[in-house]
Amino acid sequence: MNIGVNMCNELISKTEELIRRFDSNEKIDIKECEEFLNEVPGFTDKHTIEDTRDFLEFLGNPDKNMKIVHVAGTNGKGSVCCYLSNILMKAGYSVGMFTSPHLTKINERFCIEGKVVSDGVFKEVFAELLKRIMEYKNGEYFPTYFEFLFFEAMILYDVYPVDYFIMETGLGGRLDATNSVEEPILSVITEIGFDHMQYLGDTIGEIAGEKAGIIKKGVPVVFFDKRKEASEVIKSKALEMDSRVISVDGKSITDVKLVQDEASNKYVAFSYNSLYDNYIDLKITTEAVYQAENAALAVTSAEILRDKGVDISELDIREGLMSARWEARMEEVRPGIYVDGAHNMDGIDAFIQCATAISSEGRKLLLFGMVDDKQYEDIIDRILTSGEFDAIFVTVLKTERSVSVSDLKSAFESSKERHNIIGIPIKYYSNVRDAVTDIITVRKSKDVVFAAGSLYLAGQIKTML
């Protein structure tokens, strides 16, 4: 985009001022960097994939020297990245990982060897990118929020190289900034469902087409075979690109169970009949039974990498899965308090399944909040008709995108009336802190608390507890 007209002087001025302060070694908190980025969408428009590739070329095409695994999909992208990253690390490789969104701090999006990069490293790369932006086309180009973070990842793993780089898309695939990378070694597509329809399309086929846009010529693709319409689109795109396509389906994942050992450690155990092996009693350290599907995708991805010469053993796979930790996926943040980032219909279904599997001698209490670009009315229907929760605490989130108290109340009351639901008390709050304080206050010793509806909610709770 030529933004000599569109880019306002205020952004240029702020950029130049930040560069001056970095060069002068002034103290700049990472929060200030994050606040700067939060203002960027107001100044810029999304660029074409060609624009993104042009700037990537200006940066020296750092991706050309990276072994990249590109991950797209509706649900489970971050989990697959985490599981595959841990498998590779157990095999002795250094691994970088770029995921989104973050829960509490922006540098959570960048990991090296399973650890979030330090504030110092984040700011070092942030400052370098600002300088490169101002050098490019005389400052007439500025990336959007996500594009900026993607370019940071490119610089980061160029300056701090790793053996393998696991990279998650933003909300799409075909037009996503990450798709400017032209030669990944493997593409992975997780479950396809309804989300971000205003950008990706109204049907599963349309959404799958956008996600399948990451498939590159001759690059193998592993995908989760759940919905026929999505699977057909992915297979067709793979055929068009002359790419080997490998599917993982639910039938190959068996004996999924939630287990607590003698030391009270909780985990999910399952068996998986993969492309090459029949794995018995795999274990993942989580209470989210739905993660067995994402772990299976990571296992098959590891097997395809092994086909390509990566030295990965069955023990690496087993230990890699067991050592992986992915936050806000039915995560027990305190005894008896679980947070889950479920925010679309498929995610909520999986969340309810997990909540059902977790036993409670007392009540099950739900803390709920959502952003307004989701199917919140349908999701509220699903929550109420599940009959799983004895009381619901509904809150506005700390983001301009949050659904308002009045709209949430209207949706809940309408759903109760429509389905003739009585006896479930529902309370409403204008902020998460009050909601959390109240739910903890009224909670009895044997009650279990769940929180779901948004990763914003999960992050705000984790900051508080």
pLDDT at position 264: 84
What type of residue sits at position 95?
V
- Please give the residue range of the domain that contains residue 341: 331-464
Structure-block tokens of residue 224:
């989760």
**Residue found under tokens 């309810």:** 352
The Cα angle at residue 290 between residues 337 and 72, in degrees rounded to 5: 110
Query: How do residues 101-125 score in pLDDT, each as one tens digit?
Result: 999 999 999 999 999 999 999 999 9
Residue 71 resides in a domain? yes
What type of residue sits at position 89?
M
Query: How do residues 380-402 score in pLDDT, each as one tens digit?
Result: 999 999 999 999 999 999 998 89
Final residue belonging to a domain, choices 278, 296, 323: 323
Determine the Cα–Cα distance for residues 395 and 405; give it in Å rounded to an integer. 7
Band of residue 405 on the pLDDT scale cut at 50, 70, 90: very high
Looking at residue 233, which CATH number applies to its domain?
Answer: 3.40.1190.10
Are 239 and 365 found together in one domain? no
Please state, in angstroms and as integers, the Cα–Cα distance from residue 448 to each residue in 252, 338, 386, following that order: 32, 8, 16
Are 319 and 196 found together in one domain? yes
- Where in 36-82 does DSSP place strands (E)? 68-72
Res. 195: pLDDT tops 90: no
Query: How do residues 285-305 score in pLDDT, each as one tens digit?
Result: 999 999 999 999 999 999 999
Residue 4 resides in a domain? no
Are 303 and 335 found together in one domain? no
pLDDT at position 7: 55
Identify any residues that bridge with 116 across adjacent strands, giving them in sequence order: 111
Residue 1 resides in a domain? no
Angle subtended by helix axes 345-357 and 376-386, to nearest 10: 20
Query: How do residues 135-172 score in pLDDT, each as one tens digit?
Result: 998 778 899 999 999 999 999 999 999 999 999 999 88
Among 134-148, 193-207, 224-238, which stretch is predicted with the lowest mean pLDDT? 193-207
pLDDT at position 2: 42
Are 124 and 254 found together in one domain? yes
Looking at residue 376, which CATH number applies to its domain?
Answer: 3.90.190.20
- Sheet of 266-273: strands edge to edge? 253-260, 266-273, 278-284
Determine the Cα–Cα distance for residues 103 and 101; give it in Å rounded to an integer. 7
Residue 152 resides in a domain? yes
Query: How do residues 336-367 score in pLDDT, each as one tens digit?
Result: 999 999 999 999 999 999 999 998 999 999 99
pLDDT at position 4: 44
Are 318 and 439 found together in one domain? no
Band of residue 43 on the pLDDT scale cut at 50, 70, 90: low
pTM as predicted: 0.95
Residue 341 resides in a domain? yes
Are 219 and 353 found together in one domain? no
Determine the Cα–Cα distance for residues 457 and 158; give it in Å rounded to an integer. 34
First vs last C-alpha separation in the chain: 43
Final residue belonging to a domain, choices 290, 323, 356: 323
DSSP state of 108: G
pLDDT at position 139: 75
**Residue found under tokens 């690059």:** 219
Determine the Cα–Cα distance for residues 247 and 232; give it in Å rounded to an integer. 11
Are 447 and 384 found together in one domain? yes
Number of domains in the chain: 2
Final residue belonging to a domain, choices 256, 288, 323: 323
